Chains A and B, each alone.
Chain A
Amino acid sequence: MSKIPKQQEKELKSKEKYRTNEKFAYKSVIISAILGGIFYIISLFFNTGFITIFMNKGIFWNFIDITIKVVAIMLFFLFMITSVGNYKELIGKPLNWKELLLLFLLSIGQTILNIWVFTFTLFGLAIIVIYLYIVQEF
């Protein structure tokens, strides 16, 4: 017969599970933040015009340039929202709409120099926000 009472064993298991979840959430916060940072740097280089290797070289290269810019911003938004969401969960608060709006505006603000990047990013971010909202609802 086990020397540890069943109730205590259950509590221990629950604590262990919480710690594992916490560890996983913390790892997710860090990894997502690092990836968000990488895409922030990529976006900084392309969207401010530091890197112009694909610009004004024809329709194909312009398309590549716009794609890189849009994808960098969208991945930045996606990883940062994941990181901030998990961070908030760890400190026991939910991610509120003000933080979401701030991140949304700062992501859209990166696109201001190119109308095409602005349009596609706005469209892409709207899809991500709608997707996250639907996922939360279910």
Chain B
Amino acid sequence: MKKLSFRVIICVLIVNLTIIPFLFVLKGYGATEEIDSKFGDSPKIDGYIDLFSGEWNKATKEEFFLDDLPIKFWVMQNEENLYISVQFDLVLEYHNTTEFIGLIISNSSSEDKDEFIDAKILQFSNISVNDFDYFDYYINSSIFSIDTEINGDGAANLDGTTSTYEFSIPIKNTLDNEGDVLLDYGNTYAFNITYGDIPIYPNGIKKSTIVLINLKSLPSSLPTLTNIILFAFCTVVFSVLGILYVFYIYKIFKLKANIKRVKR
């Protein structure tokens, strides 16, 4: 009897240990990387990483896998946009004509599935002639609906065996953020980087991985002592000029009165 009870307890434990974790994991993904964004000048979003102009030189560069696909991932920001570039090499015959790279963005750093409500997708319509489209989707219960207002920009290009995808996503753009994640400075957001080969979302997604991107805060614009002194000097100059000008106008009117008196 004791042996039987022991076996039942062990079975229950094994069942619990195997099933209960799935209840938690099912709703999330699990981030593989955490990347700190860096400030830099805005690159040209054209699907080319111009090494001569060094447009992406100030970006944070990471290399990781989308499942089994090694990618180069570059992140940079300025006061207006977050810039992301994804680059990978594939033998030409493995590049699908309608391949795409998508950034599915979470509302926060949470990797809960329901938090991923925004998708920016660069979709090739014909990779052999570098024909692509940039899509902005709103996600509700895993259903992708196209946004009425397309936020951000993107460009893709296949050069030899290397395909490059460049994204520009507005930060703190409050003009029209319906259906978009409102990225804010100093916050962390989970990005699901996805690769697929058929323009059907989310079914076309073949590989994906989550990264956390820490957006930098805007540099504080505290005035330096030199600037304060210069501004004070400038204020003094303009004040003195203002006073002297008023005094001069007074003298002109006084002169007119004097001329009239002399004439009389």
Contacts and interface: CB of A to CB of B under 8 A. Distances in A.
Instruction: Give the dominant DSSP class at B's interface.
Output: helix
Given A22-B259, A26-B259, A40-B245, A109 B252 contact: no
B235 A48 contact: yes
B250 to A, nearest CB: 11
A22 B241 CA distance: 27
A29 B252 contact: yes
Contact of A109 (B237, B248, B251): B237
Residue with the greatest number of chain A CB neighbours at <10 A, chosen from B233, B238, B241? B241
A120 to B, nearest CB: 17
A127 interface: no
Contacts of A30: 252
Interface stretch (A6-14, A59-67, A84-92, A129-137): A84-92
A91 B256 CA distance: 11
Interface in A86-101: 87, 90-91
A112 interface: yes
Interface residues of A, number: 21
Nearest to A19: B263
Interface in B208-262: 230-231, 233-238, 240-242, 244-245, 248-249, 251-252, 255-256, 259
B238 A87 contact: no
A112 B230 contact: yes
A124 to B, nearest CB: 17
A48 B230 CA distance: 10
A43 B206 CA distance: 61
Interface string A21-33: 0100010011001
A40 B241 contact: yes
A133 to B, nearest CB: 23
B: interface residue count bin? 20 to 34
A29 B251 CA distance: 11
A44 B233 contact: no
B255 A87 contact: yes
A53 interface: no
Interface in A31-46: 33, 36-37, 40, 44
B248 A33 contact: yes
A44 B231 CA distance: 12
Contact of B234 (A22, A90, A109): A109
A110 B252 contact: no
A106 B237 contact: yes
Nearest to B246: A37
A34 to B, nearest CB: 9
Contacts of A36: 245
B234 A113 contact: yes
Given A48-B238, A106-B240, A87 B252 contact: yes
Nearest to B231: A113
22 contacts: A22-B259, A26-B256, A29-B255, A33-B245, A33-B252, A40-B242, A44-B238, A48-B235, A48-B238, A83-B248, A87-B248, A87-B251, A87-B252, A106-B241, A109-B234, A109-B236, A110-B237, A110-B238, A110-B241, A112-B237, A113-B230, A113-B234
Interface of A: 22, 26, 29-30, 33, 36-37, 40, 44, 47-48, 83-84, 87, 90-91, 106, 109-110, 112-113
